[in-house]
Amino acid sequence: MSVRIAVAGTGNIARIHVEALRELGDRVTVVAGVDIDEARAREFCAAHGIPRAGADLPAVLAATRPDLVHVCTPPGAHLDAARAALAAGAHVLVEKPPTLTLREFDELAAAGPVATVFQHRFGGGVRRLRTAAFGRPLVAQCDTSWFRPQEYFDVPWRGNWHTEGGGPTMGHGIHQMDLLLAVLGEWTEVRAVARRQARRVATEDLSLALVEFANGAVASVVNSVLSPREESRLRFDFEWATVELTHLYGYGDDNWRVTPAPGHEAAVKAEWTGPDGPSGHRAQFAAVLDALEAGEPLPVTAAEARRTLSLVAAVYASAFTGRPVRPADVGPGSPFYDRMQGSGPPWEAP
């Protein structure tokens, strides 16, 4: 049976979605494309051979009865689109960041089961690493050092809290931080600095954080859009091996390097086996279909996506209050629960 999919929001990332879905062959059929800009929806559907285009999401869902809705709108519109999809009886997969705030995320999760796109979790290397026994994780480094020139921010919705929910911590580094958490699990405390260092934006253009984990590991995190030599990098030092991932916007098997500690060569080699293949939307969509067929929660689940969003909130909370922040500090009642910038960055102070 082919899973019937509708795409809400037919902009840039929607194209990546339908191209990745096409690679999954007859496991899926894209039945509709919806955009508040109806002309854009029509053009998109014509280009990709999708039978139904429209601007009214509930009406299109009622007419086409999809099994699954991919929400590819800007983040501020994810909650309403997900609600419409759930009301129509469909499963929901929303693009990252799932919402602009933790409050909105909790409303989303309360509306029904919603999965989030964090496509880098689904490459072979991360799947191997999550099951490999390399001893205790001791220290990790998580860097998103990217470059976005000033012109990139000239689009009105970029660089603003109310449209993007933040700068590189929320919009760019969230992928690498999500991988860090996929491997190391619950974070317990964050100390962070955020700066508006070089770009004319309302948000930060740089953040650095020290993150402590329930399993005892400690990680440093850099999120930058100021770095002319761009790189995405994760490094984990376990008791018996160093595992490094160096890439930019997605990785393959060649982007990994595993270095055993002396005396652990054979054991580490034996552990570093299992799935292979690149990260990307196609890999996640295949995992979503597997879960749908097995009647399991779709990945990435709300609990895991919330943990990543709460780390983003904690980086802002620590940077803007100058204090260490624990998960409860960004829960209901905190200004950082209602808005990622909470009480506001120091550069907004009168």
Ligand X SMILES: NC(=O)c1ccc[n+]([C@@H]2O[C@H](COP(=O)([O-])OP(=O)(O)OC[C@H]3O[C@@H](n4cnc5c(N)ncnc54)[C@H](O)[C@@H]3O)[C@@H](O)[C@H]2O)c1
Residues forming contacts to ligand X in the complex (CB under 6 A) are 8-14, 34-37, 40, 72-75, 77, 81, 95-96, 117, 119
User: Shortest gap between Cβ of 175 and ligand X (angstroms)?
Assistant: 6
Q: For ligand X, which is the closer residue by CB, 74 or 332?
A: 74
DSSP, collapsed to helix, strand or coil, labels residue 217 as: coil
The owner of tokens 């991988």 is 179
User: Shortest gap between Cβ of 41 and ligand X (angstroms)?
Assistant: 8
Q: For ligand X, which is the closer residue by CB, 69 or 241?
A: 69
User: Shortest gap between Cβ of 117 and ligand X (angstroms)?
Assistant: 5
Q: For ligand X, which is the closer residue by CB, 77 or 218?
A: 77
Which helix or strand (DSSP H or E) is residue 223 part of?
A: strand 218-224
Q: For ligand X, which is the closer residue by CB, 127 or 175?
A: 175
User: Shortest gap between Cβ of 49 and ligand X (angstroms)?
Assistant: 19
Burial of 154: CB neighbours in 10 Å, binned 0-12, 13-18, 19+: exposed
Q: For ligand X, which is the closer residue by CB, 185 or 250?
A: 250
Contact between residue 120 and residue 126 where contact means Cβ atoms under 8 Å apart: yes
Reduced 3-state DSSP string for 232-271: EEEEEEECCEEEEEEECCCCCHHHEEEEECCCCHHHHHHH
User: Shortest gap between Cβ of 264 and ligand X (angstroms)?
Assistant: 35
Angle separating helix axes 78-87 and 102-111, nearest 10 degrees: 10
> What secondary structure letter does DSSP report for 77?
G
Structure-token pair, residue 140 = 């990790």
User: Shortest gap between Cβ of 189 and ligand X (angstroms)?
Assistant: 27
CA 196 – CA 312 distance, rounded (Å): 16
User: Shortest gap between Cβ of 138 and ligand X (angstroms)?
Assistant: 30
Q: For ligand X, which is the closer residue by CB, 137 or 168?
A: 168
User: Which residue of this chain has its Cβ atom nearest to ligand X in the complex?
Assistant: 11
Contact between residue 314 and residue 168 where contact means Cβ atoms under 8 Å apart: no
Largest interatomic CA distance in the chain? 64
User: Shortest gap between Cβ of 9 and ligand X (angstroms)?
Assistant: 3
Q: For ligand X, which is the closer residue by CB, 35 or 205?
A: 35
- Report H helices in 1-68: 12-22, 38-48, 57-64
User: Shortest gap between Cβ of 77 and ligand X (angstroms)?
Assistant: 4
Q: For ligand X, which is the closer residue by CB, 79 or 330?
A: 79
Structure-token pair, residue 147 = 């470059």
CA 154 – CA 149 distance, rounded (Å): 10
Q: For ligand X, which is the closer residue by CB, 10 or 224?
A: 10
Strand order in the sheet with 68-71: 52-54, 28-34, 3-8, 68-71, 91-94, 114-116
Contact between residue 221 and residue 177 where contact means Cβ atoms under 8 Å apart: yes
Chain-centroid distance, C-alpha 250? 12
Which helix or strand (DSSP H or E) is residue 170 part of?
A: helix 168-171
